[in-house]
Amino acid sequence: MDMIANLTLGFGVALSLQNLALCFAGCFIGTLIGVLPGVGPIATIAILLPITFGVDPVGALIMLAGIYYGAQYGGSTTAILVNIPGEATSVVTTLDGHQMAKQGRAGVALGIAALGSFFAGCVATLFIAALGAPLTKLALLFGPAEYFSLMVMGLCFAVVLARGSILKAFCMIMLGLLLSTVGTDLETGQERLTFGFPPLSDGIDFAVLAMGVFGFAEVLRNLENPEARDVVKAKIGRLLPDWSEIKQSINPVLRGTFIGGILGILPGNGAVLGPFASYTLEKKIAKDPSRFGRGAIEGVAGPESANNAGAQTAFIPLLTLGIPPNAVMALMVGAMTIHGIIPGPQVMTKNPELFWGMIASMWIGNLMLVIINLPLVGVWVKLLQVPYRLMFPAILIFCCIGIYSVNNQPVDVAFTAMFGLFGYLLIKLGFEPAPMLLGFVLGKLLEEKMRQALIISRGSFMTFIERPISAGLLIVAVVVLVIALLPSISKKREEVFVE
């Protein structure tokens, strides 16, 4: 019954007028930016980070969560209407969603995506509320060795599940870890890799790195390869699915929610697998699999529910253990830190109103998405026609103001430009920078826990293997890496990501 009491507390916080307004604003602006082609959730959150600065931490987190859902949903909208997936998780939606749109059923595709996502969001919220307390208790049992191994496992998953070459993803993670060591050493106070340059002694600023690599460099990439926008000319049509369509979608939604929710908890970007798994399953059990790829409503309903369920349960490792499972959550960590909150098990015990308020606001946010999106589809379609020549200067001025406002330091803007150049170089070399952000955020924590663990064990590396939980996590990490490197699996992996 704790759960109900906790949720009541949470809704008490989330339903205050200010927080409702922030949740609404977050969802709305998140969708607004996320719907722009070529702007994925990572970029959206990075760009919108500054608008949360003036708000108190609870409100800011609620707003950020809203931005996150909005960005996710905006990505699905572009996937359906323009055939450009905002990020890996909405790739699958383009397959059948865009076909439906071409047949003049864009409205139904968007409607079922919204309704399926809403259902998945409701279930995921309950799931988080139910698992939050026990997992937090578990987290308190974790010592530094377990934390270290858990992070290693998460990074291994992130390598395996990244797009493109495994070796290159590995490079990016290590680069992120390397960048995280820049700055003053926590224990001895010695400066590391700072070139004796004072602004670097606090380490590389998270916002500077994120906006440089995902704001500026992304603009440079898009300027270079203008994406062919295939905005559907056909009518949007009615939004609400009719009875037979609902009947067709109920089971895929249920299955998608389940698959996505479970995979989302995995530390290490499990959420990205949800839509793929759901789509494959629906295609496999369908009576007539040939309909898939030609506008089958199940091919939108299932993956979209899985997408949203996973997007939400990905909060579980972050909120309970303080370990971000993917680049988007790494951004949330950065955002929380800017607001003075260190994510981890202590959040729930020390700031219960923040923890439960955020969970309650997840449900409200999902409801708002349905309310905002269905009537505003027309506006989003108009937005899709904004030419890139106007979009990117707007992105830039937002980023500039944002970076300046983090510390009120003009130098930061120049730093960000430098990281923009660095990010562009990485893109040119065929690296996908998202894992770098994850490595960067986990790096400091990884080092701290490793040092603590080794002090406790008096310098014996065996501690990571002798402690059963830690050993188990490391074994999983090794197994995952080995499996991914087996030739037969890696071929399949390539196929999945090519699709």
Partner 1 sequence: MSLNPIERAQGLRIRSQQDMAAGLFMVALGVFAFLLSGDLPLGSLRQIGPGMLPKSFAVICAVLGLMLSLASLRFNGEKLTGWAWRGVFLVLGGACLFGLAIRGFDIGPIHVPQLGLLVAGPLVILVSGLAADDMKWKELIIFAIAMTTACALLFKYALSLPIPLAPWLLGI
* Binding site residues, partner 1, CB under 8 A: 50-51, 53-54, 165, 167-168, 170-171, 174-175, 177-178, 181, 185, 187-188, 190, 192-193, 195, 216, 219-220, 223-224, 387-390, 392-394, 396-401, 404-405, 408, 410-414, 416-417, 420-421, 424-425, 428-431, 447, 450-451, 454-455, 458-461
Tell me whether residue 185 or residue 499 sits nearer to partner 1 (CB atom). 185
Strands (E), 156-213: 183-184, 191-192
Tell me whether residue 234 or residue 486 sits nearer to partner 1 (CB atom). 486
User: Rounded CA gap, 331 and 324, in Å?
Assistant: 9
Q: How far is the CB of 359 from partner 1 (least distance, A)?
A: 25
Tell me whether residue 121 or residue 420 sits nearer to partner 1 (CB atom). 420
Q: How far is the CB of 94 from partner 1 (least distance, A)?
A: 23
Tell me whether residue 286 or residue 421 sits nearer to partner 1 (CB atom). 421
The radius of gyration of the chain's CA atoms, rounded to the nearest angstrom, is: 22
Q: How far is the CB of 213 from partner 1 (least distance, A)?
A: 13
User: Rounded CA gap, 102 and 94, in Å?
Assistant: 11
Which of 361, 298, 391 has the alpha carbon at shortest distance from 99? Answer: 298
Q: In DSSP terms, which residues pair with 183 in a beta bridge?
A: 192
Tell me whether residue 212 or residue 261 sits nearer to partner 1 (CB atom). 212
The sign one gets for the Cα dihedral 161, 144, 124, 113 is negative
- 42-56: buried (b, 16+ CB within 10 Å) or exposed (e) per residue? bbbbbbbbbbbeebe
286: tokens are: 């369908």
Q: How far is the CB of 390 from partner 1 (least distance, A)?
A: 6
Q: How far is the CB of 79 from partner 1 (least distance, A)?
A: 25
- For residue 115, what are the CA distances in angstroms to 197, 301, 360, 371, 428? 52, 9, 19, 10, 39
Tell me whether residue 174 or residue 469 sits nearer to partner 1 (CB atom). 174
Tell me whether residue 235 or residue 428 sits nearer to partner 1 (CB atom). 428
Residue 107 near residue 238 (C-beta atoms within 8 A)? yes
